[in-house]
Amino acid sequence: MREIAALAKAEISDEVAGAYAGQELRFGPDYIIPKPFDARLILRIAPAVARAAAESGVATRPITDLAAYRETLTRFVYSTGMFMRPVFAAAKARYAKNAARVVYAEGEDERVLRAVQVVLDEGLAKPILVGRPEVVKMRIERALLRLKPGSDFELVDPQNDPRFREYWELYRTLMARDGVNAEAAKAAVRRSNTLISSLMLRRGEADAMLCGLVGRFDQHLDHIRQVIGLGKGARTFATVNALMLDKQTLFVADTFVNEEPSAEELAEIALMAAAEMQRFGIPPKVAFLSHSIFGSSQRESARRMRAARDLFVQRAPHIECDGEMHGDAALSESVRMGYLPETTLTGSANLLVLPNLDAANILFNVLKMTGGQGVTVGPVLLGAAKPAHVLNPSATVRRIVNMTALAVAEAAAAG
C-alpha cells in the first residue's frame, strides 16, 4: 500500500498524461489511487509485493534479485524493453563509474523533461538542458515533475550564457571558409539550440547529445556535420532505424541522410549499421535490396547494389550477407534458395540496406504502421565523431529515454 500511495504522489507518467489529456492529476482528495494506464504499476508494485512476501515469509520461492526481476517486467510494459536491455545495462554501468553528460537541445519540450525524469530515476546519465530558465521552470511545474535545476540537471540559457562568446568564436573559426563572419556566427548560435549543443559536445562539455524534436532533420544534421564532423575512417553520415515486428526485429538503412548513395557508401552504411546492431547484442545478417534479384536486371541501381554487396564481403567477410535481392527473398530462405541455391545468407536477414533514401524511408514508415504498431528505435545517426542523434517531431518520451541510453552506451564504448 505504501508503494501505491507513493506512486499516487509521484508525477504522472507520459502514458497517463496522454490518456487524461487536459486533466491536472495531482495527489489529493480527488486523486489518491494511480490511474490504470500508469506503466509504473507493474514496474513498482509487483517488485514491492515480491519484496514484502519475501520479508514476511509468505513467499515459498522468494525472488532474491529484485533488480533483475524488475528488468524482466519491462517486456510487459514497453515493447522495446528486452531489445534495449543490453544498451541500458551499458548505460547504467557507465553511470555507476562516471555519469555521462547528455545535452538535450530541446530542453523546453515537455517530452524531454519527462524523459529526463526517467533518465534520472533509472540512473542513466547526467542531463544538460538547453532552454530558457523561466520556460523550463514553468513546464516542470505544469507537468508536476520533481526536477530541480542545478542539482538534477545543468541548464544552459541560450539567451544568456557566459560562454556565448567562446561558442560563436569557435563556430566562426570552424565555418570561416564557408562565408561565416563574426556577426553571422553570433546570430547562428543565438537562434539554434542544436548548434549550442554541438559546440558543447565538441568542447568536451558534454559526452553525447540529442536533438531533432522540433524542425527539419537536415537542419539539425547540418550543425552536427559542421561542428562534430565525421568519425575516424567514416566517409558519410547515415541513419538506421530498428523496428519491433511481431516475429522479428528489423533494421532499415539509410532512412534519413543519403539520397542516392554510391556502392562504396552503401557498403559503408551497411558496415556502420552492422556495428550498431552488435551494441544490441544482435548478430547482423545483411541483405542489399533491389528490384533485381541475383542478376535479373542490369539497370544501374541493380548493379550498384550488387557492387555494394561485393565491397561489403571484402571488408566484413565474417558477417553474413547477400544481394542484390528482392524483399521477400531477404526474409525467406526458401524463396532466396529458389533463385540461388548458393546464397551466402542463411535464415532471415535482419538488416535491410535500401538503394536510396526514398525506398528506405518509405519501407520503414510502412512497416512501422503495418507491422510494428509504431514501435521503433531511432533514427540512430551513424558516422559522427561523437555520440549525436537527431530524432524527429513524432518521438515519444520512451524513445527519448531509449536514445539517451544508446548515446551513453556509445560514449562508454568510445572511452
Provide the domain limits for residue 25: 1-76
- Residues 273, 353: one domain? yes
- pLDDT > 90? residue 123: yes
Identify the CA nearest to 112 among candidates 397, 399, 402. 397
* CA pair distance 229, 353, nearest whole angstrom: 23
Do residue 72 and residue 123 come from a single domain?
no
On the question of pLDDT at 41 being above 80, the answer is: no
Do 255 and 337 have their domain in common? Answer: yes
pLDDT at 19 over 50: no
Instruction: Quote the pTM value.
Output: 0.84
Residues 67 and 111 in one domain: no
Mapped onto helix, strand or coil, the DSSP state of residue 162 is coil
* Res. 53 pLDDT band, cuts 50 70 90: low
CATH number, domain containing residue 172: 3.40.50.10950
- Per cent of the chain over pLDDT 70 is 81
Q: What is the Cα 100 distance to its own chain's centre?
A: 16
Residue 82 is predicted with a pLDDT of 78
Over range 173-191, report the average pLDDT.
96
Confidence of residue 371 (pLDDT cuts 50, 70, 90): confident
Give 157 or 44, the one with higher predicted confidence.
Answer: 157
**Quick one: 155 and 129 in the same domain?**
yes
Query: Both 93 and 193 in a single domain?
Result: yes
**DSSP codes of every residue in 255-291:** SSS-SS--HHHHHHHHHHHHHHHHHTT---EEEEE-S
What band does 415 get if pLDDT is binned at 50, 70 and 90? confident
Q: What pLDDT score was predicted for residue 281? A: 92
Q: Which of 61, 76, 91 is the last residue of a domain?
A: 76
Cβ contact 171:197 at 8 Å = no
Average pLDDT over residues 6-25: 54
**How does residue 63 score in pLDDT terms, banded at 50, 70 and 90?**
confident
Q: Indicate if 378 and 388 belong to the same structural domain.
A: no
| Listed residue (165, 153, 174) closest to 103, CA to CA | 153
Q: What pLDDT is stored for residue 21 in this prediction?
A: 46
- What pLDDT, on a 0 to 100 scale, did the predictor assign at position 384? 98
Which of 29, 44, 76 terminates a domain? The answer is 76
Confidence grade of residue 59 (pLDDT, cut at 50, 70, 90): low
User: Do 51 and 31 sit in the same domain of this protein?
Assistant: yes
Q: What is the pLDDT of residue 88?
A: 94
DSSP 149: B
Average pLDDT over residues 379-395: 97
The total number of structural domains in the chain stands at: 3
Instruction: Indicate if 214 and 279 belong to the same structural domain.
Output: no
Do residues 44 and 106 share a domain?
A: no
- pLDDT tens figures, 133-161: 999 999 999 999 999 999 999 999 999 99
| Same-domain pairing of 87 and 46 | no
**How high does pLDDT run on average in the chain?**
89
β-strand partners of 209: 103, 388
pLDDT score recorded for residue 372: 66
Q: What is the pLDDT of residue 375?
A: 75
251 plus 333 within the same structural domain? yes
32 confidence band (pLDDT: 50, 70, 90): low
CATH number of the domain enclosing 292:
3.40.50.10750
Q: What is the mean pLDDT of residues 305-329?
A: 98
pLDDT the model gives residue 246: 83
